[in-house]
Amino acid sequence: MDIAELSNKILSRDRRALARAITLVESQRADHRAQAEELLGTLARQRRQALRIGLSGTPGVGKSTFIESFGLMLTEQGLRVAVLAVDPSSARSGGSILGDKTRMERLSRDPDAFIRPSPSQTHLGGVARRTRDVVALCEAADFDVVLIETVGVGQSETVVAEISDLFLLLLAPAGGDELQGVKRGIMEIADVILVNKADGDLKPAAGRTCADYSGALRLLRKRPQDPPGYPKAMMVSALEEEGLSQAWTELQQLNIWRREHGHWNQRRAEQARYWFAQEVRQTLLAQLDSPQARARMADLGDSVAQGDQSINQAARQMLTTLDPT
Amino acid sequence: MDIAELSNKILSRDRRALARAITLVESQRADHRAQAEELLGTLARQRRQALRIGLSGTPGVGKSTFIESFGLMLTEQGLRVAVLAVDPSSARSGGSILGDKTRMERLSRDPDAFIRPSPSQTHLGGVARRTRDVVALCEAADFDVVLIETVGVGQSETVVAEISDLFLLLLAPAGGDELQGVKRGIMEIADVILVNKADGDLKPAAGRTCADYSGALRLLRKRPQDPPGYPKAMMVSALEEEGLSQAWTELQQLNIWRREHGHWNQRRAEQARYWFAQEVRQTLLAQLDSPQARARMADLGDSVAQGDQSINQAARQMLTTLDPT
């Protein structure tokens, strides 16, 4: 594969080249990994940046409808939008019932939108690495907004928040004043909460839910990266395409404020340092995943279990057989 | 240090040699680590084994009094007893208010007992490794029983359970039918629950608590390593030295049953494999802890944060500077 040519095509917004590059960075093959690193290194020098928006919401809140409506509104404004999914559970559950492109039919046909479904990987570390790389590819391909969607399984929100500039939490109207069992940790990473389905019979309930969350957000500790009034809760109807442009205005205002006050740069730098440290640790431990290393671990584990040598001696023997490069 | 001589002294039950060896395995110095590995390797060949009993209980349940009474009962029966403490919080809290030897004054003067306080280490991984090594030293020094005590901070019970043959949970009498907020995970690793302070005014409450826990234990999933009737809850009074020999009889019966049915061997082998794998992972990651590695990580982290190179490229560069041996 000609990496220089692939790189140039991506920079000139070639969608097929982008799709090929994503397949490359998702590959586990050593030669593909080397090519992917070369490609990402080349593209990084362009320093193109999109607005990265993380989005979480449990099944049933209308996430697909929201992404489709929100994405189409953005492309109508002349913006280019990429949608990525982070779903570490998809491998276990055999993938989404419907593929992401089927879920977002209109958006997937939009020439200014690019939708990439979640790959089949169970390992959250692998998902995180792949998502970081795909975001970098989308930024190089000159997308203005990258939406990173997660279903909120286990730690996936934290991973997405560590990749995003802004984090959106999508909720459905709830009965009474219950807070839908949203974990405190998720509340703390949300920048804007959108109560979806504020339409028809559900509109009053959406209003109450929105008020409940506005109250709950005011009780959270003030974060230095927030201007007055943030984080905030708002109502939207993805179905009736209501409130979407207001939500976008809020997100842009927040983004501009953070850029002007240095928080945006600081956060991207912190994220880069964090993922670099994670990558070093994971690559170190990945040496234990090769078939040879596994076989050697099993043999040495047996000899330790049989008392033939001490744990420390066996560990030292194991480490001498590894080559970190 | 003459490791062969130290080894021989430990094998002939020399307490001062044992204390020196523990100081050696607790040292972080590279030359000490090498000597400690040589010593542990030499001693492992003797394949001496003690009964390892893990013991957990929150402050106030009378753990020290129990260990003193229980330990003295064992030494009166001609058994040699070592007591180790696992307390990852001791470094943070500035150590126990009173040292372990002060807590157990009579036992500490007993020539057949050996008490070693928790070292000042915050890192649970470090505590686990040190405890495994000290248990191995105590077994080589021909102790019959090794009691491993933990205060139940965070994951310390799980660590102790992975080092022990049997796990004791010590509880105080509770009012009403409350289960004292004992986590399900702790219930699931307990082999015998001892309700302490079954004396004086507290005796009726101890009886109720014991009945409550007996009921709760019956609701747990049956484990293959348990004979009928286990895990079980019993009452003891460490203060009045009541119920201690019954508890010891129960522990011995359980131990004999597990040995006869192959569970004891199987569990020790599993533990050895588990700790071997942990040791390999920790040693791999420990390469990042040297001052040189930290400085290099910081420099490369900066270059990634400034966008001068990709995360993957920087990670690869970092790994080439490490030497796993």
Closest residue of A to B325, CA-based?
Answer: A320
Looking at the predicted complex, does its ipTM rise above 0.90?
no
Contacts of B314 in chain A (CB under 8 A): 276, 279
Task: Give me the residue from B279, B300, B301 closest to A312, CB to CB.
Answer: B279
List C-alpha distances in Å: B133 to A232, B25, B44, B89, B112: 53, 7, 10, 20, 20
Q: B279 and A311 in contact (C-beta within 8 Å)?
A: yes
Q: A69 and A238 in contact (C-beta within 8 Å)?
A: yes
- The 8-class DSSP code of residue B95 comes to S
Contacts of B140 in chain A (CB under 8 A): none
Measured distance CA(A278)–CA(B98) in Å, rounded:
40
Contacts with A10 (C-beta within 8 Å, 6 or more apart), sequence order: A17, A18, A21, A43, A137, A140, A141
Measured distance CA(A145)–CA(A53) in Å, rounded:
7
> Residue B280's pLDDT is what?
94
**Average pLDDT of chain A?**
88
List C-alpha distances in Å: A311 to B72, B128, B288: 32, 13, 21
Predicted confidence (pLDDT) per residue in A102-146, tens digit: 678 899 999 999 998 776 655 666 778 889 999 999 999 999 999
**Average pLDDT of chain B?**
88
CATH fold, domain B1-45, is 1.20.5
CB–CB contact A47 B319 (8 Å): no
Contacts of B272 in chain A (CB under 8 A): 301, 304-305, 307, 311
The tokens of A208 are what?
């109450």
CB–CB contact B316 A36 (8 Å): no
Contacts of A47 in chain B (CB under 8 A): 307
- Asked whether residue B325 carries a pLDDT value surpassing 50, the answer given is no
Measured distance CA(B191)–CA(B202) in Å, rounded:
24
One-letter amino acid of A272 = A
Contacts with B222 (C-beta within 8 Å, 6 or more apart), sequence order: none
Contacts of B322 in chain A (CB under 8 A): 284, 324
Determine if the peptide bond prior to B59 is cis (ω within 30°).
no
Q: A44 and A83 in contact (C-beta within 8 Å)?
A: no
Task: Give me the residue from B41, B279, B311 closest to A276, CB to CB.
Answer: B311
> Residue B176's pLDDT is what?
54
CB–CB contact A284 B283 (8 Å): no
One-letter amino acid of A121 = Q
Please tell me if the domain spanning B1-45 has the same topology as the one spanning B48-261: no
CB–CB contact B316 A277 (8 Å): no
Number of alpha carbons in the 13 Å side-chain half-sphere of residue B243: 20
Measured distance CA(A215)–CA(A207) in Å, rounded:
12
> Residue A266's pLDDT is what?
94
> Residue B310's pLDDT is what?
84
> Residue B324's pLDDT is what?
52
> Residue B100's pLDDT is what?
59
CB–CB contact A284 B288 (8 Å): yes
Measured distance CA(A241)–CA(A254) in Å, rounded:
22
> Residue A156's pLDDT is what?
83
More confident residue, B73 or B184: B73
Contacts with B309 (C-beta within 8 Å, 6 or more apart), sequence order: A41, A44, B303, B317
CB–CB contact A44 B301 (8 Å): no
> Residue A18's pLDDT is what?
97
Confidence label for A11 from pLDDT (cuts 50, 70 and 90) = very high
Predicted confidence (pLDDT) per residue in B23-50, tens digit: 999 888 889 989 999 999 899 888 899 9
Measured distance CA(B280)–CA(B296) in Å, rounded:
23
Predicted confidence (pLDDT) per residue in A53-81, tens digit: 999 987 788 999 999 999 999 999 999 99
Confidence label for B180 from pLDDT (cuts 50, 70 and 90) = low
Task: Give me the residue from A270, A311, A322 closest to B276, CB to CB.
Answer: A311
Q: Of A82-86, A319-323, B296-300, which range is least confident?
A: A319-323
- Asked whether residue B55 carries a pLDDT value surpassing 70, the answer given is yes
CB–CB contact B313 A41 (8 Å): yes
Q: Of B81-85, B100-104, B167-171, B221-225, which range is least confident?
A: B100-104
CB–CB contact B304 A280 (8 Å): no
Determine if the peptide bond prior to B231 is cis (ω within 30°).
yes
> Residue A120's pLDDT is what?
61
Contacts of A310 in chain B (CB under 8 A): 37, 40-41, 44, 136
Measured distance CA(B170)–CA(A288) in Å, rounded:
39
Mutate to test the interface with B, among A129, A264, A276 (most CBs of B within 10 A): A276
Predicted confidence (pLDDT) per residue in A152-206, tens digit: 666 788 889 999 999 999 999 986 555 656 777 888 899 999 999 999 999 999 9
Mutate to test the interface with B, among A32, A132, A139, A280 (most CBs of B within 10 A): A280
Closest residue of B to A280, CA-based?
Answer: B315
Task: Give me the residue from A269, A279, A288 closest to B315, CB to CB.
Answer: A279
Measured distance CA(A182)–CA(A172) in Å, rounded:
11
> Residue A176's pLDDT is what?
54
CATH number, span A1-46:
1.20.5.170
Confidence label for B169 from pLDDT (cuts 50, 70 and 90) = very high
The torsion region of residue A245 among left (phi > 0), alpha (psi -120 to 50) and beta comes to alpha
Q: B88 and B120 in contact (C-beta within 8 Å)?
A: no
CB–CB contact A136 B310 (8 Å): yes
Task: Give me the residue from B297, B307, B322 closest to A47, CB to CB.
Answer: B307
Confidence label for A89 from pLDDT (cuts 50, 70 and 90) = low
Mutate to test the interface with A, among B280, B296, B317 (most CBs of A within 10 A): B280
State the DSSP H helix or E strand holding residue A55, giving kind and residue range, or none if neither: strand A51-56
Could you tell me the residue ranges of all domains in chain B? 1-45, 48-261
Contacts with B124 (C-beta within 8 Å, 6 or more apart), sequence order: B88, B154, B155, B156, B159
Number of alpha carbons in the 13 Å side-chain half-sphere of residue A125: 12
CB–CB contact B300 A41 (8 Å): no
One-letter amino acid of A94 = G
CB–CB contact A305 B281 (8 Å): no
Closest residue of A to B280, CA-based?
Answer: A315
Closest residue of B to A137, CA-based?
Answer: B310
Closest residue of B to A289, CA-based?
Answer: B281
Measured distance CA(B95)–CA(A7) in Å, rounded:
58
* Relative orientation angle of helices B30-44 and B15-26, to the nearest 10 degrees: 130
Would you give the end-to-end CA distance of chain B in angstroms? 23
Closest residue of B to A323, CA-based?
Answer: B324
> Residue A94's pLDDT is what?
41
Residue carrying the six token digits 């593209």: A43
Task: Give me the residue from A40, A268, A318 closest to B280, CB to CB.
Answer: A318
> Residue B322's pLDDT is what?
83
- Domain B48-261: CATH architecture, name and number where available: 3-Layer(aba) Sandwich (3.40)
Kindly state the average pLDDT of the residues B296-319.
Answer: 90
> Residue B219's pLDDT is what?
87
CB–CB contact B272 A324 (8 Å): no
Task: Give me the residue from B277, B320, B322 closest to A301, CB to CB.
Answer: B277
> Residue A253's pLDDT is what?
95
CB–CB contact A316 B37 (8 Å): yes
Confidence label for B158 from pLDDT (cuts 50, 70 and 90) = confident
Predicted confidence (pLDDT) per residue in A304-324, tens digit: 998 888 888 899 899 988 865
Kindly state the average pLDDT of the residues B154-165.
Answer: 88
Predicted confidence (pLDDT) per residue in B107-144, tens digit: 999 999 999 877 665 566 677 888 999 999 999 999 99
Measured distance CA(A252)–CA(A249) in Å, rounded:
5
Total number of residues shown for chain A:
325
